[in-house]
Amino acid sequence: MNLEQLQSFVEVARIGHFTRAAAYLHLAQPSLSRQISTLEADLGATLFNRARGNITLTDAGEALLPLAGRMLADAETVRHEMQELAGLSTGRVRLGATPTLCISIVAEVLTAFHGQYPGIELHLSERGSRGLLKDLAGGTLDLALITTSEELTGPSTSLSRLPLLVEELVVISATHGSLLGSDRPLTLVELAALPQITFHESYDLRAATMQAFNDAGLRPKVVLEGAEMDAVLRCVERGLGVAVVPAMVLVDRPGLRSVRLIDPGLERTISLAHRRDVALTRAAKAMQELIISTAEVFSSTGNTTNGLITRAP
């Protein structure tokens, strides 16, 4: 079994067609078929159900697919590690982050990192925390900034998590013609009566907010549902409704104002995660150090508008 065979297997599984997979890999179809046949012989198992025009994975193929993806990702990491031996003039960092962090701390980190190490390739993946944890476990990310409040259990036990910041969730409205009235803190009951804009269901932030309403037996007044971060902020700026967001996203947003949420207050912990069983490359270690130092700067400000950002215990 070799990496070329695994790559061929992964692409046939992804595309579902031998001819098209061969074209994608720039191989002749007989060569691709021989690679798959040899791999099956080595493993002693059939990997594909080969019906005319319908290629599907067998049970053995389903079991091999995530392992093959991880092996290929690890091999790519080794290649980049070898390239870095001469120093941080070359290399690659694959960073994942939640959407709310991509428009705040990640933007600061990437700008500073590129300035210090312009030769390092930067790859950014923007997903919810659960998806990022899966990507880390699968070997397609080096580091991930996550905001999930749950413990790393199940497939995530192979991951290490370093808490960085504790961030308060605040209620925002447009600066002009604000729906909030005064600057006093808002209770969850009062918030439920205001027109709200909610995030897409893939956002951990939405799940946390809706859980708070459910626990209190409240039903929020939703005027727009399923928006992405930028759309939520823009709609709030235009007075369509209010939204519950992390305090950090208010940086450089003069069109928004916020008040604290009480009874109950909501917060989230921002953590930096990576795989325990794979050593970070030199470039990834440099990125890790920069993220930690940037988080310390954010926590030293004490607050953003009316929301608190503190260092995680």
CATH number of the domain encompassing residue 50 = 1.10.10.10
Q: Are residues 282 and 158 in the same domain?
A: yes
254-272 confidence digits (pLDDT tens): 888 888 888 888 888 899 9
What does the angle CA 237 – CA 309 – CA 186 come to, to the nearest 5 degrees? 55
Whether residue 140 sits in one domain with residue 286:
yes
**53 and 110 belong to one structural domain:** no
Residue 146 has a pLDDT of 92
Give the count of beta carbons closer than 10 Å to the beta carbon of residue 28. Answer: 11
Q: Is residue 91 part of a domain?
A: yes
Q: Are residues 16 and 145 in the same domain?
A: no
Question: Are 143 and 280 found together in one domain?
Answer: yes
Instruction: Note down the domain range covering 85.
Output: 81-162+272-298
pTM value surpassing 0.75 = no
Looking at the fold, whether 247 and 211 belong to one and the same domain comes out as yes
Do the domain assignments include residue 309? no
Top-confidence residue, 248 or 16: 16
Please report where in the chains the tokens 């790859």 appear, as a residue: 123
Specify whether 150 is located in the same domain as 190: no
Residues 99 and 243 in one domain: no
pLDDT at 188 over 90: yes
Whether residue 112 is found in the same domain as residue 245: no
Q: What is the dihedral of CA 200, 273, 260, 212, to 10 degrees?
A: 60
Instruction: Compute the C-alpha angle 211/273/277, nearest 5°.
Output: 130
Model pLDDT for residues 162-171, shown as the tens digit of each residue: 999 888 889 9
Asked whether residue 157 falls in the same domain as residue 126, the answer is: yes
| Helices assigned H by DSSP within 92-239 | 99-102, 105-116, 129-137, 188-192, 204-215, 229-237
156's CB contacts (< 8 A; 6+ apart) are 133, 137
Count of domains in the chain?
3
For tokens 């199940």, what's the residue?
154
Same domain assignment for residues 197 and 276: no
> How many other CB atoms are there within 10 angstroms of residue 148's CB atom?
21
Do residues 124 and 244 share a domain?
no
Whether 306 is in a domain gets the answer: no
> What local confidence, expressed as pLDDT, does residue 84 receive?
60
